[in-house]
């Protein structure tokens, strides 16, 4: 893992960047940041629509009065045509992931994704570096259940399956060496004597990584 860019281990191991509303967490040079999709702006760690957010109307932290709504970045008395008043914000119910098809009907995306709303139906888009597999977003470079592509699972074998750069391998215990999907002791294994695939034949046995009588 790269603690300079891994949002699950940002800066140090196990420090995960929190996912903002309507956006994606990213790790830049070991510090958590926010990536907002096109049309949204970051305000205090969240991704907001400055055209419709009544707490950030036109700019961050610009509140509309209690009897006003935010429409097209301006505090007004009524919403513009094609939008609905949802708790003071004028939104398009056909495309707003926080109000998809109805006020406060928020879309919930899977991990490593941001919510979208298309024709009043919830959907999602995977973050950069992740691929959609079976309704989720995974890193096919490191996910042992989807290694190199969706549904390509690394065999368990004798050790713990791992996926590195889209290729399966196995994590073995101390004193053991991965050979294919198996963990072997190359000091004593007659089929992998000294190195993987080196077989002892003709009655030879493997001692100290060498085939001997």
pLDDT in tens, 183-211: 899 999 999 999 999 999 988 999 999 99
Listed range (1-10, 74-83, 115-124) with the worst mean pLDDT: 1-10
| Beta strands, E only, 72-148 | 74-76, 84-86, 89-91, 113-118, 121-126, 131-133, 136-138
**CB of 29 within 8 A of CB of 36?**
no
pLDDT tens track for 57-108: 999 999 999 899 999 999 999 998 889 999 899 999 999 998 999 999 999 9
pLDDT tens track for 29-62: 999 988 888 888 999 888 999 999 999 999 999 9
Listed range (14-28, 99-113, 131-145) with the worst mean pLDDT: 14-28
Q: Give the angle subtended at the CA of 152 by the CAs of 149 and 157, to the nearest 5°.
A: 140
Q: Is residue 166 part of a domain?
A: yes
Bridge-partner residues for 171, per DSSP?
A: 160
Q: Is residue 161 part of a domain?
A: yes
Cα 121 to chain centroid, rounded: 22
Provide the pLDDT for residue 26. 87
Q: Is residue 19 part of a domain?
A: yes
Q: Is residue 148 part of a domain?
A: yes
Q: Is residue 186 part of a domain?
A: no
CA quadruple 191, 197, 202, 204: dihedral sign: negative
Q: Is residue 58 part of a domain?
A: no
Q: Is residue 122 part of a domain?
A: no
Which residues, 6 or more positions from 87, have their beta carbon under 8 angstroms from its beta carbon?
54, 103, 104
Q: Is residue 22 part of a domain?
A: yes
**First-to-last C-alpha distance (Å) of the chain:** 45
State which residues form the domain around 9. Answer: 1-45
Q: How many domains does the chain have?
A: 2
Provide the pLDDT for residue 7. 84
């Amino acid at each position: 893992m790269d603690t300079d860019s891994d949002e699950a281990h940002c800066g140090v191991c196990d420090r995960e960047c929190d996912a903002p509303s309507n956006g994606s967490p990213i790790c830049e040079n070991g510090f958590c940041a926010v990536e907002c999709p096109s049309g949204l702006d970051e305000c205090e760690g969240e991704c907001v629509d400055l055209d419709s957010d009544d707490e950030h109307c036109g700019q961050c932290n610009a509140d509309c009065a209690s009897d006003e709504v935010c429409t097209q970045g301006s505090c007004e008395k009524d919403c513009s045509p094609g939008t609905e008043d949802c708790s003071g914000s004028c939104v398009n119910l056909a495309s707003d992931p926080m109000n998809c098809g109805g006020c406060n009907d928020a879309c919930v995306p899977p991990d490593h994704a941001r919510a979208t709303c298309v024709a009043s139906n919830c959907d999602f888009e995977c973050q950069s570096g992740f691929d959609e597999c079976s309704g989720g977003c995974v890193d096919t470079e490191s996910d042992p259940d989807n290694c190199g592509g969706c549904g390509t699972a690394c065999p368990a074998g004798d050790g713990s399956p791992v996926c590195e750069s889209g290729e399966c391998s196995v994590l073995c215990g101390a004193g053991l060496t991965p050979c294919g999907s198996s963990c072997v002791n190359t000091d004593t294994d007659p089929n992998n004597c000294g190195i993987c695939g080196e077989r002892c034949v003709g009655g030879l046995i493997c001692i100290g990584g060498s085939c001997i009588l």
